[in-house]
Chain A
Amino acid sequence: MSSLQFDIAHLLAGSLVLASFMMLYQDRLYALLNVYALHAGVLALSVAWQAYVQQAPHLYVTALIALVFKAVIIPVALHRIIKRLGIHREIENVIGVGLTMMAGIGLVALSMVVMLRVTPGADALAREDLAFALSVVLLGLLIMVTRRNAVSQVVGFMSLENGLVLAATGAKGMPLVVEISVAFSVLIAFIVIGIFLFRIRERFDSVDVQALDRFRGERR
């Protein structure tokens, strides 16, 4: 593998982490969705580059799935859901941009350290790829933890899943069947979550999960 190929793969994976960081501080839902679409687009590019580098044509299918489903269909659908729920003006109070960004930086550092330590034998591309993928997963979890709106939690979950796809393509030899089944399960999860969003909305006039907690009589 030439160093240019390696650099481009590195650049794309790094951009995915960067997109995750961008999602961390979006406090408007539409903006969050737009960044998510960007996130998925970068993922599609990255996977396509991997397909080219590894000479693995089935990865092009994966990239296509990522582009069509994750970068187009899901964001558009979520747009419409948000419009129908009438929550596009809602502003979430995220814990505090500075603090969240610091935590995110810490997570990236942690995943670098972990990955570089546990995979000394693997080739350089896979190592970097896995480290970035783990960062994206952790950042996705961080998004889910710091949000209170159900829609943005769903988006966080989707970005987490993008990290998994990145990891899977970096490791050579993942069969297409697994890829397609993962894509479908995400789609189904998306549909189920969408239906639940409407049900929650019907009941509580809000998709703020705090309403759910209050309804269960929870202690905080």
Chain B
Amino acid sequence: MIAVALWSVAVLLALAPAGIALSMRPRGSVVLYGACLVVTATLCVTALLHLLDPAHPVLSATLPVGLPWLGAHFRLDALSAFFLVVINLGGLAASLFALGYGRHEDSPGRVLPFYPAYLAAMNVVVLANDAFSFLVAWEFMSLTSWAMVVSHHREAENVRAGYVYLLMASFGTLALLLAFGLLASSAGYDFDAIRASHPSAALASMVAILALVGAGSKAGLVPLHAWLPLAHPAAPSHVSGLMSGVMTKVAVYGFVRIVFDLLPEPVWWWSIVVLLVGGPTATLGVLYALMQRDIKRVLAYSTIENIGIIFTGLGLALAFKAQGLDWVAALAFTAALLHVFNHALFKSLLFFGAGAVLEATGVRDMEKLGGLIHRMPKTAFAVLVGCVAISALPPFNGFVSEWLTFQAILLSPQLPSWGLKLIIPAVGGLLALAAALAAACFVKLYGISFLGRPRSDVAASAHETDRFSIAAMLALAALCLLAGVLPGLFIDALAPVSKTMVGNIMPHQAGLQWLTIVPIAESRSSYNGLLVFLFAAFCGTAAASAIHRLASDRLRRAPAWDCGYPDANPAIQYSASSFSQPIRRVFGSVIFAAREIGEMPEPLAAAPAKLTVAMRDLIWDALYAPIATVIGFVTERINLLQFLTIRSYLTLVFAALIVLLLVVAL
């Protein structure tokens, strides 16, 4: 099986140079994305078969590439199989979407060669079994995605996004490099040797923190998130979907692989760090998302929120594992992985929807959209499913994983440590707040973009997108519903992963009646997605038919509620900013230093009134701006060295030589 996986990766790598040639052909993008579709489907099926294999074999392979004395080691175990499924399901959907969407690309030569290479790099990260291959693939993944972020390089904003992204990616890789360097000091680069070694608690703690920084900066944990909302929206939409839905999950994989697998038993305080980063990330991410007007940027910030939820789950797993409560750790860990899977589904779906809207109207600003549900009904339906799922409403999949996370939070009184007993409920509160705000955020996104009346001519003249894109979105929507209605299947599939990583599994769900899931015991809590779905479907259908049957069925078209204005202009609808104003007033004045400046004209003056909202990103101001200032100051000083005279350079060389000789002599 691992041979199939590696050959598929090789085919993807071979497709990258082919992309250069194909980008010059008129239908080249269809050929390339079709090929990617086939390869990712193969990989996805292979990984799925491996994950569901009851024997759970661990396969490994060594290739004579990379460092000469090391070679490249690859390993396929339950964890990498699960992440391979996530990556290639996302890649499959993105390739299907791009069969239609990719034809509208203006400069395919800037995307096509990098797309298969990017997919290959993500697969190799998950398969790698030595630090060298891991880091090379990780960096390759960053670079190929960077190339696609700057593919529309004529917009200055994208170039800046690419610059910030490249800096932060290098920073993250540096942290991981240091982490592996510390591990390699005793055991070398091979993951098998690292697993067998016993690093001291202090060393393991440093590695864990470096892994959190390195993987967290790629995943978008606050405060290392600043690049994410710039870079993800700048790429073409199918790549945005991959970056947000899949690449952040590869970062989660990196964290899980290092902290749960390579390091020995966790130290108790690691979980506190992870929880204190994860909870605020969730809340801040969704608050940022609520303040945005750009659809793709809303989605990117919402990714930060979901990463926060996933890391909270992982932090809970660490906390319970360190205290010996394996069975709760298994619950939290499974919840986090299930959310990884779910988020990959609905975030890809939503980014594809945003891409379809962008392709149909040419704008990403919600204030210029509206009324798309009549013009793009199929897209609107798929995006609605995605919005409901990401808002964690039953019977869709987002609810299941967040509910499981809360089940683990509710078990925190069982912990012996008082610190954790106090911190975990507080994090739970943040998570609950994030879930509610996420619902508001997606009501806003859907309501402003798809409902109401068009706010611009481009929105009024929008048209439905092509059939491949719709197929991709509807398939993802169906998967969202499936994972929400039959969560037991997915939880059972994750059992081998949780067995190898935290040493225990959640109770078996398959034999329970009516496909109910029971995370702990039936007396405590249970959830049945199928019943909720059937009930909701039945009530909805019954109510709709009752209204149609009992009310007048004469079709009557009338102007929408117009607030008594004689001329119901689209501008008097809710706008994206006005919708989020109450939340901005509550949280914004502190977190974003938001100020509203109202300008009323003098009485009798015929000037429009103006309301300006000024917001700042305090994390940017407090963390990034000072660093940038210091680096700028230092480079300005060092820059003088570029403009010395020839004799000064000679003197410097001479002085350096003398100093070195003195060192030797004394």
Residues of A within 8 A of B (CB): 107, 110-111, 113-114, 117-118, 138, 141-142, 144-145, 148, 209-210, 212-213, 216-220
Contacts and interface: CB of A to CB of B under 8 A. Distances in A.
Contacts of B658: 107, 110, 138
Given A110-B661, A110-B662, A113-B665, A218 B644 contact: yes
Interface in B646-666: 646-647, 650-651, 653-654, 657-658, 661-662, 664-665
B640 interface: yes
User: Chain B interface mostly helix, strand, loop or mixed?
Assistant: helix
A145 B662 contact: no
Contact of A216 (B640, B643, B647, B657): B643
B612 interface: no
Contacts of A117: 664-665
Contacts of B650: 141, 144-145
Given A145-B651, A145-B654, A114 B644 contact: no
A118 B666 CA distance: 11
Given A142-B654, A145-B654, A219-B640, A212 B664 contact: no
A138 to B, nearest CB: 8
Given A117-B665, A148-B647, A217-B643, 13 more contacts: A107-B658, A110-B665, A114-B661, A114-B664, A117-B664, A144-B650, A209-B645, A212-B645, A216-B643, A218-B644, A218-B645, A219-B640, A219-B643
Given A142-B654, A145-B654, A209 B661 contact: no
A118 B662 CA distance: 12
A109 to B, nearest CB: 9
A213 B651 contact: no
A37 B170 CA distance: 55
20 contacts: A110-B658, A110-B661, A110-B662, A114-B664, A114-B665, A118-B664, A138-B657, A138-B658, A141-B654, A141-B657, A144-B650, A145-B647, A145-B654, A148-B647, A209-B645, A209-B647, A210-B645, A212-B646, A217-B643, A219-B643
B646 to A, nearest CB: 5
B661 A213 contact: no
A193 to B, nearest CB: 13
Contact of A111 (B645, B646, B647, B661): B661
A107 B654 CA distance: 11
Contacts of B646: 209, 212-213
Contacts of A219: 640, 643
A220 B645 contact: yes
A118 B644 CA distance: 34
A144 B646 CA distance: 10
Q: Which residue, A111, A148, A213, A216, has most C-beta atoms of chain B within 10 A?
A: A213
A47 B651 CA distance: 30
Contacts of B653: 141
Contacts of B657: 138, 141
Interface string B626-643: 000000000000001001
Q: Which residue, B643, B646, B654, B657, has most C-beta atoms of chain A within 10 A?
A: B646
A136 B396 CA distance: 83
- 9 pairs of A and B residues whose beta carbons are closest in the complex: A213-B645, A113-B665, A114-B665, A141-B654, A145-B650, A145-B651, A114-B661, A114-B664, A145-B654
A212 B662 CA distance: 33
A179 B323 CA distance: 73
A219 B643 CA distance: 7
A117 B664 CA distance: 8
Nearest to B651: A145
Nearest to A150: B646
Contacts of B647: 145, 148, 209
Contacts of A216: 643
Contacts of A107: 658
Contacts of B661: 110-111, 114
A102 to B, nearest CB: 14
A117 B640 CA distance: 38
A216 B643 CA distance: 8
Nearest to A107: B658
Q: Which residue, B643, B645, B657, has most C-beta atoms of chain A within 10 A?
A: B645
Nearest to A210: B645
Nearest to A116: B665
A219 B639 CA distance: 12
Contacts of A220: 645
Contacts of B640: 219
A212 B658 CA distance: 27
Contacts of A209: 645-647
A141 B654 CA distance: 7
Nearest to B666: A113
A141 B650 CA distance: 8
A117 B663 CA distance: 12
B639 to A, nearest CB: 11
A110 B664 CA distance: 10
Nearest to A118: B664
Contacts of A145: 647, 650-651, 654
Q: Which residue, A114, A117, A118, A148, has most C-beta atoms of chain B within 10 A?
A: A114
Contacts of A210: 645
Contacts of A114: 661, 664-665
Nearest to B652: A145
A216 B644 CA distance: 10
A115 B650 CA distance: 23
B648 to A, nearest CB: 8
A157 B558 CA distance: 94
Nearest to B660: A114
Nearest to B658: A110
A15 B475 CA distance: 89
Q: Which residue, A145, A216, A217, has most C-beta atoms of chain B within 10 A?
A: A145
A220 B649 CA distance: 12
Nearest to A214: B645
Contacts of A142: 654
Contacts of B662: 110
Contacts of A148: 647
A220 B651 CA distance: 13
A219 B650 CA distance: 16
Nearest to A220: B645
A141 B652 CA distance: 11
A90 to B, nearest CB: 17
A209 to B, nearest CB: 5
A114 B659 CA distance: 12
Contacts of A118: 664
A218 B665 contact: no
